[in-house]
Amino acid sequence: MKKKVLALLFTVVLLSSCIAVKEYKKIYLNDPDMKLAAHQNERFEGNFQVYREGASGANGGKTGGGCGCN
């Protein structure tokens, strides 16, 4: 567990040390297709995957609430 925490902290430090991209250079990053989140309507897909599979979470989606039993 300690190793995992250290690896996570190392990743945080590593990533935060990257060169900052200025706002006016974010034209590609601001493209709608570059979003790191899913489209609103893709939530339904995430819901059925939570119901039909044993794993869930770490995806910004549903992790509890509702029985998911049909």
Partner 1 sequence: MKRIVIIVLTLFAVSQFVSAQISDSSLVYKKRVLESTEIDLLMSLYNQDGSHSPVNGGLGTEKLTNGTPTIVLSIPLNANDVLTIDAGISAYTSASSSNINPFWSAPSYYKNAGLTNITSASRGGGGNVITAPTGPITPTTYNTIGTPWLASTGASKSDILKAVHADYSHSTDSRNFIWGSNLSYSKEFDYTSYGFGGNVTRLFNDKNTEIGFKGTAFLDKWKPIYPTELREYKDYGVNFQSSGYFKGVKVYNQSGIASTSYLPSGFKEWDQTGRNSYTLSFFLSQILTPKFQAALFFDLVIQEGMLSTPYQRMYFSDKPNYYIGAISDIPNYTSPTNHRVYQLADAIEVLPNSRYKLPIGARMSYYLNEWFVLKGFYRYYIDNWGLKAHTFNVDLPVRFSQSFSLTPSYRFYLQNQIDYFAPFETHLSTEQYYTSDYDLSKFNSQQYSLALNYTDIFSKFRILSLGFKNANLKFSHYNRSDGLTANILSFGIKFVANGK
60 binds partner 1 (CB under 8 A): yes
Residue span 2-41 as binding mask against partner 1, x where in contact by CB under 8 A, dash where not: ------x--xx--xx-x-xxxx-xxxxx-xxxxxx--xxx
Query: What letters, b where the CB count within 10 A reaches 16 and e where it falls short, cover 27-49?
Result: eeeeeeeeeeeeeeeeeeeeeee
- Candidates 61, 41, 60; CA nearest to 51 is 61
Q: Residue count at the site for partner 1 (CB under 8 A)?
A: 47
Minimum CB separation of residue 46 from partner 1 in Å reads 10
Minimum CB separation of residue 16 from partner 1 in Å reads 5
